[in-house]
A = this chain, B = another copy of it.
Amino acid sequence: MSVLAVGTVAFDQIETPFGKRDKALGGSAMYITMAARFMCDDVRLVAVVGNDFPPEYREVMASRQINLAGLEVQEDGLTFAWGGRYHYDLNNRDTVYTDLNVLATFDPVLPAEYRDANVLCLGNLDPGVQDSVLNQVVDPSIVICDTMNYWIEQTPEKLKHILSRVDCLVVNDSEARELSDSSNLVVAAKKIREMGPEIVVIKKGEHGALLFANESVFMVPAYPLEDIQDPTGAGDAFMGGFAGFLSGCKDIDLDSLKHALVHGSAVASFTVEQFGPEGLYDLSRPEIEKRIDAFRDLTTIPVSAVTQF
């Protein structure tokens, strides 16, 4: 089964209290596909880069058998570039710059071989571009969508339209609050579900993630790590792990969604342990499964009754 992810491939300039990277490989489509590859053999990327995108960055993805047929190279443009600086507590960051470059005119045309993808990930992008990609995929099993404050504020109508067409929205808590105009996340999820997506996943950074599906709520913590280097890409890696796991499921039911959430959180936990995507470079599925066992230990309320007086 297959995952198709549309999003960005970028140069990231990252500054955290623990170090700096300049022109690091970044972008939502890169993180989603890198993470999804641990759970899925057939992962297809849709994005655009410029003439400055180095072969070694392409090789990072190609060597992991990520299908790059959909990675458009605009020979007369520069790759999308983003710079961010994290605060001391890593929970907040300032955007230092955003150079859209080739992203400004991105109008993806999917390779024919891409169109039968089972799991479609619409990474954070102009909702119009997300819509166009959705139109090009034939009967996906599940469509998972991300967005951000910018689109909530600048293109609310286009966002509403795409939301009415997707099965699952994956957003940060602040975005969920803004989109629903509700500070309470349970209420926010309910309102968002009324906008279209039956499944809502709210990412809370170091506090984990919430899944709202059917009439159930499920919660997975972020793994409590002693050494967090860089939160960049954690949310996208989460989405990739989530999507990758679902691509392997015969039925997308509550149990498979819960497992997918835990897989997403596990991959994200490796991402933040190193800078940029470096934490994913030498990762393996068994290591992910081992961390999932640790998640179980972390959250399982013992079944055994405690001996009471």
Contact = CB atoms under 8 A, between A and B. Distances in A.
A211 B51 CA distance: 51
Contacts of A243: none
A140 to B, nearest CB: 15
Interface string A124-143: 00000000000000000000
Contacts of A89: 177, 183
B226 A217 contact: no
A295 B301 CA distance: 9
A154 interface: no
A226 B259 CA distance: 25
Copies in the assembly, this chain: 2
Contacts of A226: 184, 186-187, 190
B301 A299 contact: yes
A217 B298 contact: yes
A219 interface: yes
Contacts of A73: none
B251 A307 contact: yes
Contact of A308 (B186, B248, B258, B308): B248
Nearest to A248: B308
Q: Size class of A's contact patch?
A: 35 or more
B300 A300 contact: yes
Contacts of A186: 224-226
B218 A298 contact: yes
A249 interface: yes
Interface in A289-309: 292, 295-302, 304, 306-309
Given A89-B183, A207-B208, 17 more contacts: A88-B183, A89-B177, A184-B226, A204-B207, A208-B221, A218-B297, A218-B299, A219-B298, A220-B299, A248-B308, A248-B309, A250-B308, A251-B307, A258-B301, A292-B301, A296-B301, A299-B301
Please provide the 9 A-B residue pairs with the shortest distance between their CB atoms, ordered closest to farther. A207-B207, A89-B183, A299-B299, A186-B226, A248-B308, A250-B307, A256-B306, A255-B302, A219-B221
